[in-house]
């Protein structure tokens, strides 16, 4: 695998995993459009591991505060995470729907559902959901008020993200906005919730790779590059996006998804006619 391909795919993964524009669609469509071969399981693991490292590092103090609060430690009144004592358990519960969806539908998500038409349709459909959520959500609640109903609602939304083109962050942030969370709180809850899902995906892929014989020698350098670049880029993207949402709406990402979805449909039709 050429190093420039590893660099491009690592940056694409990091940008699209946390921005609400669908990493699965971009990682499937970029190689398709550029005529690249499937980089294989080992590189997928590198990308998942890199973004997971970035998430854990960026939110490490948040996880510590939630852990202390979950076991009864007192916190200051202005500590959103520490004042919501069951938040850690609510995040664990919200992870269950996505785990069930992955168990039941992972095979379809990696094969039949990779159709460019389905991905384009989900890009456009979730753009509409994001627009409605951003316009109609009350946006008057923070993480201190997240309840059992909120966590189940957002958790079920995350389960839908197994369909390529959906975007985990796009649908979970929208779900949070529809429950009245403000934009930064909805994004933070989305990122915290995605950490166990990414960890589970990375561990499963690592186990599959081990059973297949480990990282091939020719993939060891691209693997290291993928981990490093995806981790650094993901850290920067998370920091940027959380700051962005303090003063901006999701409108740019709605328009991007609509434009990208239309382009994907047009390209799929054109390439099918050329092939015929």
181: three-class secondary structure by DSSP:
strand
Q: CB–CB of 15/57 below 8 Å?
A: no
Give the pLDDT score at 237: 96
Q: CB–CB of 39/3 below 8 Å?
A: no
Tell me the C-alpha to C-alpha distance, in Å, between residue 255 and each of 10, 22, 35, 148.
Answer: 24, 14, 27, 32
Within the chain, where are the H helices? Answer: 3-18, 23-34, 41-58, 60-70, 80-83, 87-110, 116-136, 148-160, 168-178, 183-211, 220-247, 251-275
The band of 76, judged by pLDDT with boundaries at 50, 70 and 90, is: low
Q: Rounded mean pLDDT of 106-129? A: 91
pLDDT digits (tens, 9 = 90+) for 8-35: 888 988 889 899 998 888 887 787 777 7
Q: CB–CB of 223/215 below 8 Å?
A: yes
CA distance 227 to 229: 6
Give the pLDDT score at 1: 73
Question: What DSSP string runs through 99-154?
Answer: HHHHHHHHHHHHTGGG-HHHHHHHHHHHHHHHHHHHHH----B-GGG--HHHHHHH
- What is the percent of the chain with per-residue pLDDT over 70, rounded to a whole number? 97
174: three-class secondary structure by DSSP:
helix
pLDDT digits (tens, 9 = 90+) for 35-53: 777 776 567 777 888 999 9
Give the pLDDT score at 191: 96
- 251 CA to centre of own chain: 19
CA distance 127 to 143: 24
From the list 23, 46, 13, the residue with the least C-alpha distance to 225 is 46
Q: Rounded mean pLDDT of 150-179? A: 96
Give the pLDDT score at 210: 80
pLDDT digits (tens, 9 = 90+) for 239-266: 999 999 999 999 999 999 999 999 989 9
44: three-class secondary structure by DSSP:
helix
């Amino acid at each position: 695998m050429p190093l420039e391909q590893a660099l491009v795919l690592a940056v694409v993964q990091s940008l699209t995993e946390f921005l609400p524009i669908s990493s699965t669609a971009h990682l499937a469509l970029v190689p398709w459009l550029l005529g690249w071969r499937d980089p294989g399981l080992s590189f997928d693991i590198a990308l998942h591991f890199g973004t997971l490292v970035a998430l854990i590092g960026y939110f490490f103090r948040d996880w510590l505060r939630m852990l202390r609060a979950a076991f009864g430690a007192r916190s200051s009144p202005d500590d959103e995470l520490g004042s919501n004592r069951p938040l850690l358990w609510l995040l664990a519960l919200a992870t269950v729907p996505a785990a069930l969806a992955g168990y039941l539908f992972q095979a379809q998500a990696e094969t039949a559902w990779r159709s460019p038409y389905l991905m384009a349709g989900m890009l456009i459909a979730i753009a509409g959901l994001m627009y409605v959520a951003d316009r109609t959500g009350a946006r008057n609640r923070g993480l201190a008020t997240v309840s059992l109903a909120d966590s189940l609602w957002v958790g079920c939304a995350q389960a839908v993200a197994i369909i390529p083109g959906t975007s985990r962050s796009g649908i979970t942030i929208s779900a949070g906005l529809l429950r009245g969370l403000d934009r930064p709180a909805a994004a933070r809850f989305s990122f915290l919730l995605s950490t166990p899902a990414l960890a589970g995906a990375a561990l499963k892929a690592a186990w599959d790779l081990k059973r297949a014989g480990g990282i091939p020698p020719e993939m060891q350098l691209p693997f290291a590059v993928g981990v490093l670049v995806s981790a650094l880029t993901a850290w920067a993207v998370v920091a940027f996006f959380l700051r962005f949402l303090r003063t901006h709406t999701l409108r740019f990402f709605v328009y991007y998804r609509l434009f990208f979805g239309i382009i994907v449909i047009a390209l799929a039709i054109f390439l099918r006619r050329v092939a015929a």
